[in-house]
Amino acid sequence: MKQGQVCQVQIMTPPKSFALFCLNHVFNHVAFVRSVMMARKFNISLVVAALSLITRILPVAVAVPDSVLRARHVQTPEELRDSYDYIVVGAGTAGLTIADRLTELPERNPSDPNGDRQTAHLYNLTSVPQIGLNNRTIPLGMGFGVGSSSAVNGMVVMRGTVKDYGIWDQLGKNGSNWSWKELLPYFKKAPSLFTFRHEMRNPFCSPEPGTCRGLQHYAWGQYNDTRLYASFPGGLNPAIRIPLPADGHAGNHGVFYYPLSVDPKTRQRSYSRTGHWDGLNRTNYDILTSARATKIVLSGENAATGVECILTDTESSCESQQRSCDIDRSHPYASASATERSPCILLKKAKIPFKPTWGGCELSRSPNRTPYSVQFYKTTPTTYLELDPSPAQRRTRSRSGGRSSTPHRGTICLSRHRLFPRSPGSSFFRSTRHRQLRSPRLQSPKNLLAEQMLSSSPSSLSFLHWVIGYGTAPGANLINFHPTSRGTVSVDPDNIDAPDPVVDYRALTNPVDTDLMIAYLEFYRRFFGPEGPLAGYRAVEMAPGAKVTSREDLAGYIRTNYIPQAWHPGGVVDDELRVYGTRGLRVADASVIPILPGGTTQLTVYVIGEKAADLIKKTWKGKGGKGASGGKRGDKNR
Ligand SMILES: Cc1cc2nc3c(=O)[nH]c(=O)nc-3n(C[C@H](O)[C@H](O)[C@H](O)COP(=O)(O)OP(=O)(O)OC[C@H]3O[C@@H](n4cnc5c(N)ncnc54)[C@H](O)[C@@H]3O)c2cc1C
């Protein structure tokens, strides 16, 4: 090891295997945690699970009781071992999952969930001014700390639809299967990490699609709520053609309730740290805190051989070596952070050959699977009260298994439905104006997106809505997980060593996105209007306001209110998560999602972590490894 300005973590031929995290805290009084995990492998490979580009970093203590933390906590370069089999950069949702799986041991202590949402633990980064949004800059949603974004997120647990993952699969070229069927085993694994606020016997109602016994499983707990259903005699379907799937986690769209990853008794957050780190008893797993990975070291043949990082408290350096590595980044905005954190734009610059397929060039530069979220309806206080269930509705709730508790002031449910159930429907996208949805390449994410938008099939793309009350506010909140404008995350061309990425959402640069939002607004006007299924709520439109009707005015409202991110960005790599043109370098985090699923992302990211670990384990075969099942590595309780 050597001291200096830079911490270099290199990985050598593995005498021992382990995981190492670099946890950093950053400027502006905001603590950052970066992590580098090094995990054991039988042969050679490095996994970096998250990089990002933050400048100055302050050390931050990680509040983990010794009794809980069993992975070796490394705080100085001197404590690093000479070599590691894997390095995982990023102690986030995917990174912790991968490190856990690569270091699995038979013993596992029960989790000790601690720490609720720490909203202050968000990186203090903003995008460049957005031309399409009246030059507003948009804060980036990205958590730091052990657990990172899963430690600060809204805890909504959702799967995407069968179609969502089908698109991923269609985009794959290397034979790695990302279909619903392939991912289902990983989805089933993830719930064991969570304790849920909704005390359901089976939190997902059905590990197997279609085996759920009823909506009531989702209809109690925080939202105490069958009111929505009571509001729609005959269900939503006749009114707005939105189905009510019996199982919200069986890959369908429709209106359903969802669980939260919160312990129902203690109300403590259940997240990647409690599920994948606390309580681990691993001698092959080290974690380095207060360090920021700055560069992935590549050999002459573009083989990843190590990681350089800065120890943020002492500004000292560390160094180790490795024969080869799989590098897995574990945060979308990390994609452009270290020098070789390059998406396609940097690969091009470096003249590294790549095939823009699964996580193609366009997407890899893009954080722009950015949801749209605008609250545009509110109810008056009078109407507010009327949201409480009637005696009849209470009886309905009771019959359906819901709990009797203080009536919530609004009804919350999740609607994931296809575009524009009544109209303009598919014809909306067939207009000349929307031909620009398509791209010249046939099997491109953009084309598949367009195809789904144009489709009238019930399995086509779905969009997400929280209806009547997002959080505690009455109203509606809609999220578009399928924007067509593509953004970029890149290094600063004027300062390639700058730690912060340049993030440009390029929000609303494709006019289709504005048209989508206008159509959404109009849909909600129908939905809440006197002729709509929620007429009984007598909702009053507060914003944009009933007077805002022309396309021009609605577009103006959207420009000033549109938020081109709702904490679920995405972007990078081929379908085996390898960075094009390199060896031993993988990215596994939310950024690899080629097209966002129509749902919140944390569960999908856990699945990506699980799949990444299996992809890596496959390379153990024939090299002294035990293969994907991990042999002795498997904890019994998984
Ligand atoms: C405020 C908020 C609310 C959300 N709400 C929900 C929700 O309700 N439901 C849901 O399903 N999803 C939600 N999400 C999204 C979900 O939490 C994320 O998609 C998911 O956790 C991302 O996981 P990840 O592994 O890709 O990144 P993260 O979990 O963010 O991990 C990235 C890690 O990489 C580290 N890192 C970055 N750069 C470096 C570097 N240079 N060196 C070392 N380490 C580095 C970071 O510090 C961090 O530890 C929310 C997200 C946020 C931010």
Residue 340 and residue 280 in one domain: yes
Percent of the chain whose predicted confidence (pLDDT) is above 70? 40
Q: Which residue has the higher pLDDT, 220 or 70?
A: 70
Q: What is the ipTM of this complex?
A: 0.99
Q: How far is CA 43 from CA 98, 307, 328, in A?
A: 16, 18, 17
Under 8 Å between Cβ of 211 and 223: no
Under 8 Å between Cβ of 206 and 213: no
Give residue for tokens 């940097």.
346
Residues 6+ apart with CB under 8 A from 285: 18, 19, 37, 39, 40, 71, 72, 99, 103
Asked whether residue 450 carries a pLDDT value surpassing 80, the answer given is no
Inside any domain, residue 384: yes
Percent of the chain whose predicted confidence (pLDDT) is above 90? 4
Residue 96 and residue 224 in one domain: no
Cα 334 to ligand 1 centre (Å): 10
Inside any domain, residue 381: yes
Asked whether residue 129 carries a pLDDT value surpassing 80, the answer given is yes
How many structural domains does the chain have? 2
Confidence of residue 137 (pLDDT cuts 50, 70, 90): very high
Q: List pocket residues of ligand 1, CB cut-off 6 Å.
A: 22, 32-36, 50-52, 89-95, 141-144, 148-150, 152-156, 158, 292-293, 330-332, 334, 337-338, 567-568, 589-590, 600-603, 605
Residue 324 and residue 418 in one domain: no
Under 8 Å between Cβ of 176 and 359: no
Average pLDDT over residues 51-80: 43
Average pLDDT over residues 56-70: 30
User: Which ligand 1 atom is nearest residue 145's CA?
Assistant: 49
Give residue for tokens 């060593």.
497
For the segment 571-582, what is each residue's pLDDT rounded down to a tens digit?
457 788 887 777
Residue 415 and residue 522 in one domain: yes
H/E stretch holding 416 reads strand 413-418
* Structure-token pair, residue 541: 């439109």
Choose the residue to mutate in 204, 335, 567 for probing ligand 1, maximizing ligand atoms within 8 Å of C-beta: 567
For the segment 252-304, what is each residue's pLDDT rounded down to a tens digit?
766 665 666 766 566 677 788 888 888 777 777 887 766 777 777 777 777 87
Confidence of residue 52 (pLDDT cuts 50, 70, 90): very low
Q: Whose CA is nearest to atom 30 of ligand 1?
A: 149
Chosen domain end from 517, 539, 561: 561
Task: Classify 140 as helix, strand or coil.
Answer: coil
User: Which ligand 1 atom is nearest residue 146's CA?
Assistant: 49
Under 8 Å between Cβ of 504 and 135: no
Residue 524 and residue 379 in one domain: yes
Task: Classify 364 as helix, strand or coil.
Answer: helix
Q: Whose CA is nearest to atom 8 of ligand 1?
A: 154
Confidence of residue 124 (pLDDT cuts 50, 70, 90): confident
Residue 380 and residue 460 in one domain: yes
User: What pLDDT shows up at residue 611?
Assistant: 92
Average pLDDT over residues 331-350: 39
Name the average pLDDT for the chain: 58
Asked whether residue 163 carries a pLDDT value surpassing 70, the answer given is yes
Q: Whose CA is nearest to atom 40 of ligand 1?
A: 51
Residue 193 and residue 209 in one domain: no
- Torsions phi, psi for 136 (to 5 deg): -70, 150
Inside any domain, residue 585: yes
User: What pLDDT shows up at residue 474?
Assistant: 45
How many Å apart are CA 111 and CA 159, to the nearest integer?
Answer: 24
Inside any domain, residue 338: yes
Inside any domain, residue 627: yes
Choose the residue to mutate in 51, 602, 606 for probing ligand 1, maximizing ligand atoms within 8 Å of C-beta: 602
Angle at 613 between CA 611 and CA 617, to 5 degrees: 115
Confidence of residue 133 (pLDDT cuts 50, 70, 90): very high
Look at 19-33, 157-171, 251-265, 532-546 and tell me which has the smallest mean pLDDT.
Answer: 19-33
Residue 60 and residue 39 in one domain: yes
Q: Which residue has the higher pLDDT, 465 or 416?
A: 465
Asked whether residue 313 carries a pLDDT value surpassing 60, the answer given is yes
Q: Which residue has the higher pLDDT, 272 or 395?
A: 272
Residue 15 burial (CB count, 10 A): 10
Asked whether residue 411 carries a pLDDT value surpassing 70, the answer given is no
Residues 6+ apart with CB under 8 A from 263: 113, 195, 196, 197, 269, 270
Inside any domain, residue 498: no
Inside any domain, residue 524: yes
DSSP string computed for 36-61: EEEE--SS-------------B----
Residue 236 and residue 348 in one domain: no
Q: How far is CA 418 from CA 240, 371, 447, 460, in A?
A: 11, 15, 17, 7
Task: Classify 276 as helix, strand or coil.
Answer: helix
Q: Which domain holds residue 49?
A: 1-117+143-197+270-365+571-638
Residue 298 and residue 187 in one domain: yes
Angle at 613 between CA 608 and CA 619, to 5 degrees: 130
Cα 167 to ligand 1 centre (Å): 23
User: What pLDDT shows up at residue 568?
Assistant: 45
User: Which ligand 1 atom is nearest residue 33's CA?
Assistant: 47
User: What pLDDT shows up at residue 173?
Assistant: 66
How many Å apart are CA 180 and CA 398, to the nearest integer?
Answer: 34
Q: Whose CA is nearest to atom 28 of ligand 1?
A: 92
User: What pLDDT shows up at residue 553?
Assistant: 92
User: Which ligand 1 atom is nearest residue 94's CA?
Assistant: 25
How many Å apart are CA 549 and CA 521, to the nearest integer?
Answer: 10
For the segment 507-557, what is each residue's pLDDT rounded down to a tens digit?
888 777 787 778 777 777 776 677 776 666 566 777 788 888 998 998 898
User: Which ligand 1 atom is nearest residue 96's CA?
Assistant: 25
Residue 11 and residue 58 in one domain: yes
Residue 253 and residue 292 in one domain: no
User: Which ligand 1 atom is nearest residue 119's CA?
Assistant: 1
Inside any domain, residue 22: yes
Choose the residue to mutate in 330, 491, 565 for probing ligand 1, maximizing ligand atoms within 8 Å of C-beta: 330
Torsion of CA 9, 13, 15, 16, to 10 degrees: 50
CATH code assigned at 616: 3.50.50.60
For the segment 185-219, what is each residue's pLDDT rounded down to a tens digit?
888 787 666 665 443 333 333 333 333 332 222 22
Specify the amino acid at residue 271. Y
Cα 92 to ligand 1 centre (Å): 6
Q: Whose CA is nearest to atom 20 of ligand 1?
A: 602
Give residue for tokens 């420009």.
559
Specify the amino acid at residue 561. N
